[in-house]
Chains A and B, each alone.
Chain A
Amino acid sequence: MARLQLEGLSKRYNEFYAARDIHLDVAEGEMLVLLGPSGCGKTTTLRMIAGFVEPSEGVIRIGGEDVTWHPPWKRSTGLVFQNYALFPHLTVARNLAFGLEMRRVEKSEIDRRVHDALAMVRLDHLADRLPRQLSGGQQQRVALARALVVRPDVLLLDEPLSNLDAKLREEVRIEIRALQQRLGITTVMVTHDQEEALSMADRLVVMKEGEVRQIGSQQELYERPVDRFVASFVGRSSFLRGRLADGILRTEGGLEVRCSDGPNGPAAVAIRPERVTVAREAPSAENVFPGEVEHVSYLGGSIDVRVRLSPKDVVVAQMPNVEGGWLPQAGDRVHAGWSASAKAFADTETEEGTAQVS
């Protein structure tokens, strides 16, 4: 249990930065989640903390101690791999004992701690099985117990849930988070799954192209994203693109959208689907535009309605599925409305097309 600090950490391969100038300060017992698409540098950062990748620049401190140049086996980090990486030739109990044997813990103490750790993940009855005889979820818990049994200062989780099926994932998510909080262990998790990140983190770090874009709580990232990428990666957004001048965005399709102020010039407004009202009569809102329903996705808990406002502008509205409520059909003439608090960002990124919901 210790504070983890990354100070100006970079990894450069020739001219290419896999991670660039990463500053992170993870408090004791905090769970920090690195979130981003593949290739954003989150895994490189995690592997630098674990000691498998040598940083090109910067310092890593665990509990205040500079461990930047310590080899992996001299760091007090517990790593859980995406594919669990359990030793296939050792039983569950021997897998857990491995790290303790490396630390020359006494035999009776090893037995006791292995047993306790297995009980902690409710697998004490499987101690003598080989990893291949376990289900994916059980292997995952063994991997977690193996990392925790040595009582590391920092727990590192590399996409720990991505090999589990969707149902199990939610269960394990809650279990890992509860365990992490109970043990109060400083944790860094890497994931590309925003739902996973949002549900487990104390704080989130959104990364892209090797750089940290934003650090903050779930609410901060969702309500006050610093740029268009964060707005599209955390939660969903439809984007209307155009030119911003004095809090009004003129889209290419000719709409005038009132939005939060931003730098004048090419810009995009991010509109959260659940904050768009779709109705046959014009609703009362600061931005109201007539349009035509293009597509309806009935999702059960909610209904996604794609509304074309102009030849170039489309928004997606997420309607609650109210009993006896109105269900729009493709082709319906409707009105879409939303508030002027929608965030505008300088439109410098071109990778997302207009009106993409991501």
Chain B
Amino acid sequence: MSDAGAGGRADRPSTLFSASTLIGPATLLVAIGILAPMLFLARYSLNLYDPRLLMIEAFSPANYIAFFSDPFYLGVFFTTLRVSFVCTAVCIVLGFPLAYLLARTGSRMKNLMIIGIVIPLFVGNAVRAAGWMTFFGSRGLLSVTLMDLGLRDGPTEIMFTETAVIIGIIAVNLPYMVLTLQSVLEGIDRNLEEAAFSLGAPPWTMFRRVLWPLALPGIAAGTILCFILAMNAYATPVLLGGPQFRMMAPMVYNQFQLNNWPLAAALAFILMATTLGLTVVAGLMTRQSFRG
């Protein structure tokens, strides 16, 4: 490679902003802020817990065995998976039409619509959950309205149920799904839809044969994002689910509060491994079907 005549290497902007310079700070932050604590947690999860002595140095899988052999923990685990799957599925079904509309509209209101979708993200999860509480309670807006309309005789209790948590998480996650899908759908040439129509494909067939496969990378990204957020939801299950309803993230925190660091660390790792595993599987599946 001849750089002669182009001046010294040092004053070339490409050197100044070389790859390592650009990713350096973020890498450092990740290394110190995430990797190090995770290594500690991984080590902790292999320790043992004693109510009196708290943490005992050990190298034992006891916490993991306890988790997978205890119906209570497994129940929480499957509740978390179920809620996450339902929330993600509903987000796809609700989000796709909305994202499609946003991607295809020529309306001047488009920016306003996008702002409308982003604005809920400005409200913290806890604040939003508090809002839902006033709506879901037995004396809340929904219940009272249903009674006033004569649709229900007694109060409707949604508060402190799985339904309330699912609705709450969907409300949090939907904007992420819509924005992810919208950006992908916008990249799909509208002429492709028309080409399919003119070749004889009715709308549903067009969707199945053209739009869906082309949007698959975006659907995968949105699904993964949505699923991770649901699996790790904390404020929504605590506030809308109440003390009887348990999901993984609040349980991790509970164990920390009880000073059972080894079990909390093990729970955290199980949650993380499951999320990661399912994400990888989803990624592989979409890649394969996209090639096929």
Interface residues of A, Cβ cutoff 8 Å to B: 50-52, 71-75, 77-79, 81, 83, 85-89, 98-99, 102-103, 146-147, 150
Q: Which residues of the partner chain B approach A87 to less than 8 Å between Cβ atoms?
A: 192, 195-196, 210
Question: SS class of chain B's interface: helix, strand, loop or mixed?
Answer: helix
Cross-interface CB contact of B202 among A73, A78, A86, A88, cutoff 8 Å: A73
Among residues of A, the one whose C-beta sits closest to the C-beta of B209 is A98
Residues in A whose Cβ lies below 8 Å from that of B214: 88-89
Closest-CB distance, A36 to chain B (whole angstroms): 21
Q: For A72, list chain B residues within 8 Å (CB).
A: 194, 197-198
User: Which B residues between 208 and 240 are near A, CB-CB below 8 angstroms?
Assistant: 209-210, 213-214
A146 with B199: in contact, given A72-B194, A88-B214, A89-B290 (CB under 8 Å)? Answer: yes
Contact B195 A102 (CB under 8 A): no
The interface size bin for chain B is 10 to 19
Give the residues in chain A near B194, CB-CB below 8 Å: 50, 52, 72, 79, 81, 85
User: Is B200 part of the contact surface with A, judged by Cβ < 8 Å?
Assistant: yes
Given known contacts A83-B189, A83-B191, A88-B214, A98 and B201 CB-to-CB distance under 8 angstroms:
yes
A residues near B202, Cβ cutoff 8 Å: 71, 73
For the A-B complex with A75-B198, A78-B198, A85-B195 known, give 12 more contacts whose Cβ atoms are closer than 8 Å. A51-B197, A72-B194, A73-B199, A73-B202, A77-B198, A79-B194, A85-B189, A85-B191, A85-B194, A103-B200, A146-B195, A147-B198
Q: Which chain B residues border A146 with CB–CB below 8 Å?
A: 195, 199
Inside 8 A of B192's CB, which chain A residues have their CB?
85, 87-88
Q: Roughly how many angstroms separate A244 CA and B197 CA in the complex, as a whole number? A: 53
B residues at A contact (CB < 8 Å) = 189, 191-192, 194-202, 205, 209-210, 213-214, 290
Return A49 CB to nearest CB of chain B, in Å: 10
> A75 contacts which chain B residues (CB < 8 A)?
198
**A78 vs B194: C-alpha distance when bound (angstroms):** 11
Question: Nearest 9 CB-CB pairs, A to B?
Answer: A102-B200, A99-B199, A85-B191, A72-B197, A85-B195, A79-B198, A81-B191, A73-B197, A73-B200
Q: How far is the CA of A102 from the CA of B192 in the complex (A)?
A: 15
Among B189, B198, B209, B290, contact of A73 (Cβ-Cβ < 8 Å): B198
A-B contact pairs, 9 of them (CB 8 A): A52-B194, A52-B197, A72-B198, A75-B198, A79-B195, A85-B191, A88-B214, A89-B214, A102-B205
- CB pair A73 B201 closer than 8 Å: yes
Contacts of B191 in A (CB 8 A): 81, 83, 85
